[in-house]
Amino acid sequence: MNRPGAAPSIDDVRAAATRIAGQVPPTPVLRSAAVDDWVGTRVHLKAEHLHATGAFKLRGATNAVLLLDDEEAPRGVAAHSSGNHAAALAVAAARRGIPCTVVMPEGASATKRAAAEAAGAEVVTCAPTLAAREERLAEVLAETGAVEVHPFNDPGVIAGQGTATLELLESVPSIQLVVAPVSGGGLLSGTAIAAHAINPAIAIWGAEPAGADDAHRSLLAGHLVLDGPNESLADGLLAQLSERTFAILQSHDVQVVTITEGQIVEAMRVLARQAKQLVEPSGAVALAGLVQLAARGTPLPEDVGVLVSGGNVDLERWTSVFHEA
Amino acid sequence: MNRPGAAPSIDDVRAAATRIAGQVPPTPVLRSAAVDDWVGTRVHLKAEHLHATGAFKLRGATNAVLLLDDEEAPRGVAAHSSGNHAAALAVAAARRGIPCTVVMPEGASATKRAAAEAAGAEVVTCAPTLAAREERLAEVLAETGAVEVHPFNDPGVIAGQGTATLELLESVPSIQLVVAPVSGGGLLSGTAIAAHAINPAIAIWGAEPAGADDAHRSLLAGHLVLDGPNESLADGLLAQLSERTFAILQSHDVQVVTITEGQIVEAMRVLARQAKQLVEPSGAVALAGLVQLAARGTPLPEDVGVLVSGGNVDLERWTSVFHEA
């Protein structure tokens, strides 16, 4: 059910940047001397949690919705999502004035579900498995005739996610290494495409919870490995690579660093205490990954970019996580 | 014991901006669609909590320290402060390589005290009254020969604080109203001087806890009124106007809106939940004040600037405040 096309090109990413400019303002790049000290180099935090929907997903969803032609658009859009893509697609669809249905697993974040509903999407729930999500979505597509906007396999979505890195490298051209979280691989793929078009020497790292490390296993094995564990506090990172995103990551020599749950919480804590940023667990994963690279002695350049991907955490849950740590 | 001079001019503010540029990077201006909806207009959040020391005080302290001549500098600097000015002065002094002593009241925020000590300042404690602070500081000045850098009465400090508004109005020239928190009045004075030099039509509001409303009472009475209550969760806002800051505020037709403790907590909550920013109570006061202006029907222009002044909260205390609210 995915929209046709192979890997998006840098031209697609640049076109996405132009296309979404009126709807998705650039996010700031934040600095914190204490974070620099913690990591041991200059860290440029791309604040993707400061989008209107609280996550980078608004970039890709907006691009995909604006790419719909006049025949497709009136049918509306649909997707399955654990949350941030759902809210982003709902907002992008509402702005174009077309219907949106999202399939969310039971147990998804209440904050994220409320955001999708507030934007006018119809939310349909299903069991929290990939099979159940795909089955329920197929039913929705059959019933409504909507166009699927896949959260990470859609080339328009991947191109949209790449615009974050275009902005980051325009603000800080001296960056030589970028870390992004990896789940289905849409953001990381867009990051690699954008960064390497600007400077092929930039090292691209994915950061992934050890409890959901399909990208790490797959890139080491040289083929998709999807039968490992799949559990993490980082509820936005439980999707798995597709053939398309795997191929993009492989062709860009992307490496993956895995982190523990405790390291995620520690990064959330540092982002709160030092950088004054409230992020969801998934949003702290890239910084946690960078800290692990430093800890294991990976040489770091003077300027490093970190994608802080989202901030949609239920606040009560966040404070309890913080107190338990 | 204050350094000589009357109100600083816009030339002093512009000179301060040039002077501190190498040490104090500009802070971002953040937006949040949810905050806009809450207030009912476009709100531009000047993120002064994102300074290296977590508060705007770094601007004024850096300017004052860099203004010391070669005779004064080796004697070092001293001040009394409830916290954020102490840390800022400590950092500014360390960067110039001169000694710094700060007098802090017992019960001051542990986070703020630790920040001053980490930067190498000698911290001296005293009873939590203005008289005790001034007495202890006089002793320190007599013992050390240090130059006092008053937290808000020093013209160099006031000029430094004004640079925040220079940056804000350069980023968003369409702003027609600015709200800043008011304590001793240094930030609010600098805000008025900077804003009115750029555009005399900009309305300047101070926001003040109802439990420490000397600025509100004084401006209404037309003379300093310092015998009112002086207690608030906003521990950074318990200082009181000086003759100098009062005169500046009066000459700029500054008005003051007072807010309750609950309104401060509510603004902290919205800044966390919606704008993903962790701020200290004092840092949320200007936004809370703007919301009160909207609630009482004060006409608001399309673009409003809000100074989010600081983020140095003890995180455990912040989360408990949040849960109790």
Residues B200 and B282 in one domain: yes
Find the distance separating the first CA and the last CA of chain B, reported in whole Å.
Answer: 42
Q: Would A3 be classed as within a structural domain?
A: no
d(CA A286, CA A290): 6
B144 lies in the same domain as B110: yes
Looking at the fold, whether A222 and A251 belong to one and the same domain comes out as yes
CB B19 within 8 A of CB B279: no
In tens, the pLDDT along B222-237 reads 999 999 888 999 988 9
Domain extent, residue B141, equals 58-148
- The sign of the CA dihedral A56, A289, A207, A232 is negative
Q: Which of B204 and A313 is assigned the larger pLDDT?
A: B204
Q: In the prediction, which pLDDT does B104 show?
A: 94
Residue B318 belongs to some domain of the structure: yes
* Domain count across chain A: 2
* Chain A CA closest to residue B313: A273
Q: Do the Cβ atoms of A272 and B279 come within 8 Å? A: no
* Average pLDDT for chain A: 94
pLDDT of residue B324: 58
Q: What percent of chain B has pLDDT over 90?
A: 86
Residue A3 has pLDDT above 80, yes or no: no
Query: Is residue B174 assigned to a domain?
Result: yes
Chain B nearest C-alpha distance from A317 (Å): 11
CB of B165 within 8 Å of any CB in chain A?
A: no
**A266 and A199: one domain?**
yes
Residue B55 one-letter amino acid = A
Is the separation of the CB atoms in A61 and A51 below 8 Å? no
Q: Where are the alpha helices (DSSP H) in chain B?
A: 10-20, 33-39, 57-67, 84-96, 110-118, 130-144, 155-171, 186-198, 214-221, 243-251, 261-273, 281-295, 315-324
Specify the CATH number for the domain of residue A283: 3.40.50.1100
Rounded distance between C-alpha atoms, residue A63 and residue A254, angstroms = 24
Give the alpha-carbon dihedral of A256, A262, A265, A266, to 10 degrees: -90
Q: Do B50 and A30 touch (CB under 8 A)?
A: yes
B209 contacts B236 by C-beta, under 8 angstroms: no
Mean pLDDT across the stretch B20-39? 97
Q: Do B54 and A319 touch (CB under 8 A)?
A: no
B31 touching chain A per CB within 8 A: yes
What pLDDT does A323 receive? 67
Instruction: Based on the fold, state whether residues B158 and B134 are members of the same structural domain.
Output: no
pLDDT at A193: 98
Q: Which of A97, A119, A148 is the last residue of a domain?
A: A148
pLDDT tens for A70-93 read 999 999 999 999 889 999 999 999
Q: Which residues contact A151 (CB under 8 A, 6 or more apart)?
A: A57, A60, A79, A80, A81, A85, A157, A184, A186, A239
A319/B323 Cβ within 8 A: yes
Indicate whether B269 belongs to any domain. yes
Contact assessment for residue B186 and residue B158, using Cβ atoms and an 8 Å cutoff:
yes
- As a whole number of angstroms, the distance between CA B274 and CA B296 comes to 23
CB contact under 8 A, A49 and B276: yes
Q: Please give the average per-residue pLDDT across A220-238, as a whole number.
A: 92
Model confidence at A219: pLDDT above 80:
yes
Q: Which of A148, A176, A204 is the last residue of a domain?
A: A148
Is pLDDT of A160 > 80?
yes
With 60 as the cut, is the pLDDT of residue B298 above it? yes
What is the reported pLDDT for B71? 96
**pLDDT of the residue at A322:** 66
> Do the Cβ atoms of B276 and A275 come within 8 Å?
no
Exposure string over B101-110, b if 16+ CB within 10 A, otherwise e: bbbbbeebbe
Q: What is the pLDDT of residues B143-168, one digit of tens each?
A: 999 999 999 999 999 999 999 999 99
Cβ neighbours of A28 in B, within 8 Å: 28, 30
pLDDT tens digit string along B90-146? 999 999 999 999 999 998 888 889 989 999 999 999 998 888 999 999 999 999 999
Judge whether A5 lies within some domain: no
- The answer to whether residue B188 is domain-embedded is yes
b/e map of B180-204 (b: 16 or more CB within 10 Å)?
Answer: bbbbbbbbbbbbbbbbbbeeeebbb
- Cβ burial A274-309 (10 Å sphere, 16+ → b, else e): bbbbbbbbbbbbbbbbbbbbbeeeeebeeebbbbbb
pTM (global) more than 0.80: yes
Name the residue type at position B51: H
Can you give the pLDDT at residue B293? 98
Same-domain check for residues A122 and A169: no
A38 lies in the same domain as A173: yes
- So what's the pLDDT on residue A4? 43
Specify whether A205 is located in the same domain as A160: yes
Which stretches within B119-260 are classed as H helix? 130-144, 155-171, 186-198, 214-221, 243-251
Same domain for A132 and A274, yes or no, is no
- Mean pLDDT over residues A284-312, rounded? 97
d(CA B90, nearest CA chain A) in Å: 15
Which one of A118, A148, A178 terminates a domain?
A148
| Residue A251 three-state SS | helix
Question: Residue B232: which H helix or E strand, with range?
Answer: none
For the record, the structure tokens of B119 come out as 């930067």
Same domain, A38 and A88: no
Whether residues A104 and A167 share a domain: the answer is no
Residue B292 to residues B40, B179, B262, B267, B276, Cα–Cα distance (Å): 12, 11, 12, 11, 21
- Asked if B239 and B85 touch (Cβ cutoff 8 Å), the reply is no
Chain B: closest CA distance from residue A53 (Å): 9
Same domain flag for B28 and B68: no
Answer yes or no: is pLDDT of A267 > 50.
yes
What does the DSSP 8-state code read for residue B311? -
Whether A105 maps to a domain, the answer reads yes
For residue A2, the model assigns a pLDDT of: 41
Q: What is the pLDDT of residue A1?
A: 34
A1 vs A121, which has greater pLDDT?
A121
Within-domain flag for A227 = yes
